[in-house]
Structure 1
């Protein structure tokens, strides 16, 4: 029930504060809009309160009441805006209770109103405490979601950058690979045209020589004809005197006529016959080589070469175990598909053990060459991260260059094993602190990688290694490492495949290559001496 002061400003029709009140002849006031709506409904112009008929179709506005209503509304709005939202708008009483059904605060008068009949009420402070706990729980949930969303936003932004970086890197690789194919086609075109020009020059020289010969023959015939014509016009005695000589000259000049030599023309089928097929076949070999990777593992015994090979292959193929003696005694190779590409890993024994017999060393070197022919894409020098680098370790790359030929270091990568021993430390810091390790990395063109062979499911470390190998190959502008030693090994393999190969001992063939037996023996002797000195110094340090 509205307060008395408020009832004075309520329209009897809409039961709300007057809006443009009009004054009827019966002294009652009604909202102008409510009055016209009432008249349209009833069909007669009568007062909604007393039913007295109004003589005026458009009653005048009650300006006094209108001004009072506006003042009342203004005053009420000011009260509400000044912090009086705790006052009931209907009864102007303080809001102390909370209706559980309507979910609204009410005053003590409201609980007896018909609107809240049979409703349950609770003190506001009790409800506020319960609701604040609920809101606080929801707020914490929203804050966690906001934090997670911000984290995801950062990841999404990073992903966008990675997508762009991947796209740019992939685009460069696409261009480089197509450039490789374009260069191959240009080289094939140039080689074919060069061969054509060489044959052209050769056959032009041959025909030039034949032209000189036939010109000499024509000159001789012409001279014989002139001499015989003169003899025919001479006297009988002179004719008879010259006849025997003339007939002899005629017989000499009556040799077989020169003929066009066979094969004088350009052998066109040699260049155009199956040209597209031959080029396609060579291109197929290049594409196959681009997707294939041959890797040779090098290093001392016990550094984790075989375990690294198993990590690359993603399966246990090489024997690997903790042992005081060498586990790998001879070269072996395993082929597998890794990251959608064909990968061949060649595992080697400790080729840098100077106690190894010279003949056995040469045999294993030659065997690794045969297994990785036509040439390895990368030499992986394996060192554990916890190795105490000696002068001998530092000279391993130099020994490899002596064994396998020059420029081998352009195709080398240092592969550190036992990455789990870093325990969160950076390999860069370790390289920076160890001068011998730093020198070794610099010798290999600052190319290095870390393997954790214990983390077998981490294939990302293998993918990263293959990407570094791809980058090295692109920088070298050459598919794989090769020299005369590898070319001869490939030729032997092809001959063996065709059934023409001779079974020769690898160590005998090795004498033809860059590893000279005497030089190798001298180097091994020097290495033994160095190792003995290092061993003596190490014993002294321990003592």
Structure 2
């Protein structure tokens, strides 16, 4: 019973001539078995009647009879294999769209488990069995199921693409190395893939770094928006406090003030939102590229990796903006309330002074140090600093000065005579580059002297000091630069 239940594998019933399972097996006098047709064809093409296995020579062609025992065993093996295939097929999954189907299945095509680079075919679990059991098929190269196996053959020599030409950066077959690329340098596909995977890992790290930088930039922009909103809220509160004491005559000014501030904030917020949207879009593109790179780097399909590596332009990152120099400046509200209140100067002089005091405290936070250098008295940037100079904003000068010994004027276009008492000792200068604002303050009186508005700055700004000649001692007092005292 034990012998009856034992069924050897197909590998034990392979003809040594055709390397397939016996068909009409016959035995030679030396005891070896062959397909009847195979041994007769073998003898018909040779001068002597020899055994293909042991090379024993027979003086005359032996009479060959079918070995019934071997034939029955082969029949049982085939029947068992068919039953196993039928049972396995019912358990396997039918191939779905996007999956590689078995090339051997008829009717319902099952999902392929492996593809053979020698047979150029894909097999389900059942039809893959011979490649796992038959000794002649075990030498074939199996890979994960792929479509278009013909694309893995050299179109010129019809041989498998097994090597990588580092000279031409192309996949080649063995014949290519001795014919078309004889002087070139070659490596196995696996070795080249390992090198490319290192590059992919480096690229992936660079992309992740780019993503991180953009995420940090988003946080920076959001923080600027938060600070800008705080400034806007504070400025609106101050404006409401100033104009609350007024009646209907100043109601219109109050609304104009609030609308101006909110418009600036909306512009700042929109600019920030546009930047964030663009950053998030770049992150999305980078993450998409990261997914492609990661998927490709995990591929065990050497040929697919190399071919995709060439078409992916992996050395070229997706087009992105250099965000290191991009800045979303917070909206500046400096002087907004003051400019509105100045139109009601006669009735609001007390309020104006209080407001200027607040502004002075605010601008003091932006104090910068000034270092004098003899070279700065000569040509610098795009303006002339020597000779007879008539300062004006059009020439790059925003200045105020004392004329005729007792009258102050702003060197605007046209010049503006200032109602400033002679003898002012301390003058503060505040510049808002983004807002295009240059303001001069009488620090001791906590009063605004003059503001240049609507300025357009395109270069760096530098202090401009002109003490004028001594005039026989009448102008002998020095100009002194004093540090800002933060209250």
TM-score by length of 2: 0.32
TM-score by length of 1: 0.29
Which is greater in Rg? 1
* Structure with more contact order per residue of length (Cα contacts < 8 Å, sep ≥ 6): 1
Relative to its length, the structure with more helix (as a share) is: 1
